Amino acid sequence: MDFLISQNYVNYVCQCGLLKPLTNLYFCRHCLNLRCSFCCHHEVDSHFCRNCLENIPSSEAKLRKNKCNSCFDCPSCSFSVLSARATTIQVPMTVKEKQEGEESSTTTSEASSGKMVAKKMYYLACLACRYSSRDVGISDQASQNFCWPEQEYMHANRFNTILNYYQALVLHDKQVKQDEKRRKTTNKSKFQSMTDRTGLNVSAIRRQMGFDKTVSKPKNKPASILPSMTEEVEELSEDIFTKPINLKNITTIEQRFTQPANQPESVKHLYPQHKNLSIKRSIRCRHCEHNVIKPEYNPTSIKYRIQQFASSHVPEVRIIKCYPLMPNKSAFITLKLTNPTMNDMTITIMELPTDDEEVMMIDEMKKNFESLTVSSKSSLMRPSLIEDPRIVSCKPTAKLELPDSSFVINQRDDSAEFDDEIQTDKKDPKFVIWRKANKIAIELSITPNDLKVNDEVIVGFTMHYTYSTVPSTTAEKKDSQQRHALNARVYLNVGNIVDYSTK
Amino acid sequence: MPLFETVFQEKPAIVMEIGSAYTKIGFCGEAHPRFILPTEIESIRDVLKKTEKNLYDQAVDFFNKIFFDYLLVSPKDRKVSFVESTITTPTLIRESFAKVLFHHFEVASILFLPLHLVSLSTLAIDTALVVDIGYKEAVILPVFNGVQILKAWQAQPLGGESIHDGIKASLILNGVKDEILSERVIEDIKVRTCFVTKQARAVAHRNNESIQPCPDVDYPVDGSDVIKIPGNLREFALEVLFPEDNDYLGLPYIIIDAIIKCPVDSRKELAENILLIGGTSSMMGIKSRLRDELRTLIKSEFYMDRLYIDDVKFHNAPSKPNFTGWLGGSIYSATDLISNSITRENYLKHPKIPDWIFYDGSSTRNQG
Ligand SMILES: Nc1ncnc2c1ncn2[C@@H]1O[C@H](COP(=O)(O)OP(=O)(O)OP(=O)(O)O)[C@@H](O)[C@H]1O
Ligand SMILES: [Mg+2]
Ligand SMILES: [Zn+2]
Ligand SMILES: [Zn+2]
Ligand SMILES: [Zn+2]
Ligand SMILES: [Zn+2]
Is A110 among the domain residues? no
Of B284, B286, B296, nearest in space to B256 by CA:
B296
| Per-position pLDDT tens, chain A of length 503 | 444 455 678 999 999 999 999 999 999 999 899 999 999 999 999 999 999 999 999 889 999 999 998 899 999 987 789 988 888 878 777 655 444 444 444 444 445 456 778 888 888 999 888 899 888 888 888 776 657 778 889 999 989 999 998 888 888 888 888 888 777 655 444 444 334 444 444 454 444 443 333 444 445 555 555 566 666 788 888 899 999 999 999 999 999 999 999 999 999 999 999 999 999 999 999 888 899 999 988 888 888 888 899 999 999 999 998 878 888 899 999 999 999 998 899 999 999 999 899 999 888 888 877 776 655 544 344 556 677 888 888 899 999 999 989 999 988 877 766 666 666 666 788 899 888 888 999 999 999 999 888 889 999 999 999 998 765 555 545 556 788 999 999 999 998 888 776 65
Q: Are B248 and B260 in contact (CB under 8 A)?
A: no
Chain A: closest CA distance from residue B246 (Å): 28
- Cα A469 to Cα A411, A414, A485, B122, distances in angstroms: 13, 19, 11, 59
Task: Show Cβ contacts of residue B355 under 8 Å, excluding neighbours closer than 6 positions.
Answer: B91, B363, B365
Task: Choose among B24, B72, B106: nearest Cβ to A385.
Answer: B106
Residues in contact with ligand 1 (CB, 6 Å cut-off): A 253, 256, 263; B 19-22, 134-137, 159-160, 187, 191, 278-280, 282-283, 322
* DSSP reduced 3-state for B311: coil
Three-state DSSP class for residue A456:
strand
Residue to mutate among B63, B66, B72, with most A CBs inside 10 A, is B72
List the domains of chain B with CATH numbers. Answer: 3-120+321-349 (3.30.420.40), 124-158+246-307 (3.30.420.40), 160-241 (3.90.640.10)
A430 part of a folded domain: yes
What range does the domain containing A414 cover?
A: 10-22+315-352+396-502
In 3D space, the residue among B45, B64, B42 whose CA is nearest the CA of residue B54 turns out to be B42
Residue A33 CA to residue A364 CA, distance in Å, equals 14
Residues in chain B, how many? 368
Residue A220 lies in a domain: no
Distance CA A194, CA A205 (A): 10
The interface predicted TM-score of the complex, written ipTM, equals 0.91
Ligand 1 atom closest to Cα of residue B133? 18
The reply to whether residue A245 touches residue B215, judged by beta carbons under 8 angstroms, is yes
**CB spacing of A236 vs B288 below 8 angstroms:** yes
Domain count, chain A: 1
Q: What is the pLDDT of residues B197-236, one digit of tens each?
A: 999 999 999 999 989 999 999 999 877 889 999 999 999 9
Question: Is-contact A258 A73, C-beta < 8 A?
Answer: yes
pLDDT < 70: residue spans in chain B: 1-9, 43-53, 354-368
Best CA proximity match to B109, nearest among B358, B350, B338, B352: B338
Helical H segments across A123-155, by residue range: none
Q: What is the pLDDT of residue B155?
A: 94
The contacts of residue A503 (CB under 8 Å, 6+ apart) are none
Q: Is A194 on the interface with B (CB under 8 A)?
A: yes
